Structure 1
Amino acid sequence: MARKSWIQRENKRQKLELKYRLIRRSSKKKIKMSKSKVSSLSESEIKEIRRKLQSLPRNSSPIRLHRRCFLTGRSRANYRDFELSRHILREMVFACLLPGATRASW
């Protein structure tokens, strides 16, 4: 079981990421368009956009998010399809609780 403080920290990061998602995407899109020479942004405008991006909270970046196990909160060895860690996934497969998952036997 993961510490509750770690889980709460992750929840806080998810909320921040949702809050600043549109600002971050629009700023990055403007910078990308300026590099392709389609828009006519000057260097100072690009610097201002980057400064705006840097002023956003660090925890609002989607890179800082981690997947966690749905049941235990474990941050490592998670399977995307089931949202479970490997320990819980193995227990549930052996108990035949996951449809479509079969255990290895030879």
Structure 2
Amino acid sequence: MAKKSLINRNLKRQATVKKYANVRQSLLEILANSQASFEEKDEARKKLQNLPRNSSFTRLRNRCELTGRPRGYYRRFGLGRNKLRELAMSGQIPGMIKASW
């Protein structure tokens, strides 16, 4: 089980990303626009730099829903490798069977 503080920190980051998503997207569109003037781009760059660091999507970390484990995460299931294996072996994940050849 991951530390509660790390799990809560990631949840707080998720809320911050959601809060600033529209603002960040509009500023990035201005920077990507080739028709925008240098002054507009410079202003957008300054505003983007003034946003909180945790408002960036890249600072989020995928974590297991059950344990909070940050590594060995399967996006399709939202689980870490250990819990995915446990649930699959107990037959709680429909359609997943142990490989045999």
Q: TM-score range by the shorter chain?
A: over 0.9
Aligned-residue Cα RMSD (Å) equals 0.9
Matched, 1:47 2:10: no
Q: Which residue is equivalent to 2:14?
A: 14
CA distance in 2, matches of 1:50, 1:70: 36
| Amino acid corresponding to residue 26 of structure 1 in structure 2 | S
- Provide the secondary structure at the position in 2 that maps to 1:81: coil
Normalised to the residue count of structure 2, the TM-score between the two structures is 0.95
Normalised to the residue count of structure 1, the TM-score between the two structures is 0.91
CA distance in 2, matches of 1:60, 1:50: 15
Out of 64, 81, 86, the position equivalent to 1:86 is 81
- Listed as ranges, the matches of 1:26-41 within 5 Å are 26-33=26-33, 35=34, 39=35, 41=36
Preserved contact between residue 30 and residue 40 of structure 2 (Cα < 8 Å): no
* Equivalent pairs, count: 101
Gaps of 5+ in 1: none
